[in-house]
Every structure is written in structure tokens, then in C-alpha cells.
Amino acid sequence: MSNNAITSINNNDNSSNKKRGMGGIAVIFLILAGVIGASYFFKDKVKAIFNPVSIVASVTSINLKETDGRTNILILGTDKRSKSNEGNNLTDTILVASIGKLDKDVVLISLPRDLWVTWTDDYSNKQQSKINEIYPLTGGDSKILIAAIEDVLGMPIHYYGSVTFDLFQKVIDILGGIEVNVETTFTDYEYPVEGKEADPIFENRYQTVHFEKGINNMNGETALQYVRSRHGDNNEGTDFARSKRQQLVIEAIKKKVFSTNVLLNIGTIKELFDAYKDNVDTNIDFSTVQSFYLLSQQINFEHIESIVLDDRSEADKGGLLVSPIDSAPYQGKYVLIPQAGDFSQIHAYVKKYLFGDK
């Protein structure tokens, strides 16, 4: 399933300005946006995206939407295999990346899929559900989901990208795999087998996946199993644990990009953009891609702040949620709700990371 790595990743390989620029754009698209790749519409302009001379000639300033000096991107990982496939389209991963234009920093905020929220449908009716159910209940309406997330976090969302499982796997494989620092050994005996969710024989629906603590070599399939596992032992079966693992994979992708010349290879770039075409839904256009490139050259990606909202940490570490004992008001489902009864504490906590002392 995974093997211990025999070599460590060197973070000092990004010394040249050119390579730093490549690493920056990679972080924007491969890490912050889960490979948002809006520019799959512009495959004939791929070289221009990575050509500083071309960019400076066409974009004289960073022209990104922002509020109080920060640009916020919503990254959704959906549980369908490609953008064209039908399915429930539950949002398996919900991550917001906030980029500070003035502070030159990045903050990642993970939201649990079981968070119970109130939202407004297209007919101005108030609805309630888990946050990961909004997409399928609204036919994939990003505007409604974005409004709900803005309400939870108390911050505007300027851009979004919805990424399928296939893209996640393909990108990691195109990069030649990643090395993930697994923090906890665990086994999941109920990892779903793709395509067998409705199999009448219960045992056929699941496979066993296992991960050992330490540096693990992972291809796309293994990395997907690592971030999706929901029934692991050793306290790895929670939303909080999944969010932590997702951010560990983000870190591994960042290190892989910074430690190699992979994105200096035009063939690799073409493979990445071809993968985007069938697996990404986003509101980022080509001019925005260029602005992200310029911004990426100014940001220090060596340190990214990460926030995970959960129901088990101390309040000053993101533990601002609780699982109610009585599930009747929540359609009998396991859900998480804010301890304060509203999202005011979460708003204050997020603002501390975005504008105050970390």
C-alpha cells in the first residue's frame, strides 16, 4: 500500500527566482486550489502562463478580487470521478485558501463535511442540511454553497474551484508520486470499493487500507485512500483527522514541486492542463491566472498557516464545534454545530488568523 521513503525531501532547491516562480504558481494551482487549473480553456497559452516576460507585457498589476487585502479561494473536492459523470456529487473536501496581498501570507481553513448549516435556495426558502450535501441538493449550484460558507466563516469567497477525485489522482501521478509524512499508524477495514457501493454482498463493498507512521511513498490512488479514509482505527475515523491528513498531502505536494524541476518541463505542464479539462469547475479565467502568477512570486510559501475546525481541540486551536447528543432536530444524522449557538466565535477565530496575532 505504501512504502517508507529512504531519502528526505530537500526544501532548499528553490533558490533561483525562476524556480521560485514555478513553485509559487504550482502552490496556487496544485495546493491552494487543489489544482484549480482554470486555464484548461487556454491550452494554447500554457507557455505564456509560465513566461514572466509575456506576463509582464500583458499584465501590469495584480488584478485580483480582494477584501481588506486578502483574496479568498474555495476549493471543493467532490466524490464523483469526473466533471461529466452523474452522481451525488457530495463535497468530500471543503477548504478555503486566503492569500494576503499585503502580508504575503497564506492561511488554509478546513471545514468539516458534517457541519450543520442553514442556507437559502433559489426560491428564497430556508433549508438546513450538512454542508457537504448542499451541492447535490442544489444540482451543483456553487453560489448557494459559497453563500453558506461565507456565513460560517464571516469572510467573502472571491474564487472557487471544484475538483474531482480523478484529477487528484492524475496530478499526483503526473508529478511522479509524493512523499507524505504520516503522523499516525492506522487501518481502515471499510474503505469503499469504487463501483461496488450498491453491491448486495456487504463484504464486496469494502477493502482494507493501512498506513504506517513515517514517510510514505504514495501514488495518486494511495494518496486518495489516505485523504478519504473515514473508518480508520487509532482515532483516525473523524472529520478532524481527515482534514489533518488532507493538509499533510497538500504539504507533500508543495515539497515535491519545490524540490524538483517537474514544472519546468513543458510536457509535464501539458499533461497537467489536459487533466484539468474534464475534472475542474471554476470561475477563474485566464487573466486571473496571470494575476495569480504575479502574486505567487511575492508570497513566502515556506510557511502556510492551517486551521481545522473540529469538536475535540481546545477552543484556541479550532475546537469550536460540538456534536449534539439529540440528533432528532438534525434529521437523525450525525452533525457538528457551533458551541456558541451561532458562528460568531468562528468569525472571531478566523479573523485572528487572517488579521491578528497567530
What's at 125, amino acid-wise?
N
Specify the CATH number for the domain of residue 280. Answer: 3.40.630.190
C-alpha cell at 179: 512523499
C-alpha cell at 249: 498531502
The conformation of residue 229, written as its DSSP 8-state character, comes to -
Give, for 346, the enclosing helix (H) or strand (E): helix 344-355
* pLDDT tens digits, one per residue of 104-131: 888 889 899 999 999 999 999 999 999 9
* pLDDT tens digits, one per residue of 67-82: 999 999 998 887 665 4
pTM for this prediction: 0.71
More confident call, 172 vs 140: 172
Longest dimension (CA), the chain: 61
**Among candidates 145, 132, 155, which has minimal Cα distance to 69?**
155
189 contact partners, CB below 8 Å, separation of at least 6 = 206, 208, 231
Q: At what angle do helices 17-26 and 286-296 cross, to 10 degrees?
A: 130
Would residue 234 count as lying in a domain?
no
Separation of alpha carbons 299 and 120, rounded Å:
36
C-alpha cell at 340: 456558541
Would residue 206 count as lying in a domain?
no
Instruction: Give the pLDDT of residue 137.
Output: 92
Would residue 229 count as lying in a domain?
no
* Helix (H/G/I), strand (E/B), else coil: 230: coil
Would residue 127 count as lying in a domain?
yes
* pLDDT tens digits, one per residue of 154-187: 999 999 888 777 878 888 998 899 999 999 999 9
Would residue 8 count as lying in a domain?
no
More confident call, 35 vs 66: 66
Give, for 327, the enclosing helix (H) or strand (E): none
Would residue 198 count as lying in a domain?
no
Q: At residue 46, does pLDDT exceed 70? A: no
Separation of alpha carbons 111 and 120, rounded Å:
19
Count of the separate structural domains present in the chain: 1
Separation of alpha carbons 286 and 264, rounded Å:
20
Q: At residue 220, does pLDDT exceed 80? A: yes
Separation of alpha carbons 39 and 46, rounded Å:
8
End-to-end CA distance of the chain: 37
Would residue 172 count as lying in a domain?
yes
Q: How sure is the predictor about 218, in pLDDT bands with cuts at 50, 70 and 90? A: very high
Would residue 157 count as lying in a domain?
yes
Q: Which domain holds residue 102?
A: 14-176+239-355
* Helix (H/G/I), strand (E/B), else coil: 192: strand
Cβ-contact 101, 66 below 8 angstroms: yes
What's at 64, amino acid-wise?
L
